[in-house]
Amino acid sequence: MDKPLTKDALLNQADGLRDLARRARRLAASLTRVSDQRRLEQYAEELDENAFRIERDAADARAAGGQPSS
């Protein structure tokens, strides 16, 4: 069974995405091909954007006094 989407679960998910973004940026810096670096940097940016949306959902859930409306 899946865990319910609580604000804490959402924030944990966002933290995980931000961690993946940091790792991707670190890896990108170690690559020699510019095209590979750009792709990983783009991936990291997408992860950060997703984390931002999830954090916003968590804040909305907190403001609504309950669980997110997903």
* Rounded percentage of the chain residues whose pLDDT exceeds 90: 67
Average pLDDT score over residue span 37-63: 93
The Cα 7–Cα 2 span in angstroms is 15
Question: Which pLDDT score, from 0 to 100, does residue 15 have?
Answer: 97
Question: How many structural domains are present in the chain?
Answer: 1
The answer to whether residue 69 is domain-embedded is no
Percent helix, strand, coil in the chain, to 5, is: 80, 0, 20
The answer to whether residue 21 is domain-embedded is yes
pTM beyond 0.75: yes
The band of 50, judged by pLDDT with boundaries at 50, 70 and 90, is very high
| Domain, as residue range, for 50 | 7-61
The answer to whether residue 67 is domain-embedded is no
* Rounded percentage of the chain residues whose pLDDT exceeds 70: 81
The answer to whether residue 68 is domain-embedded is no
The answer to whether residue 32 is domain-embedded is yes
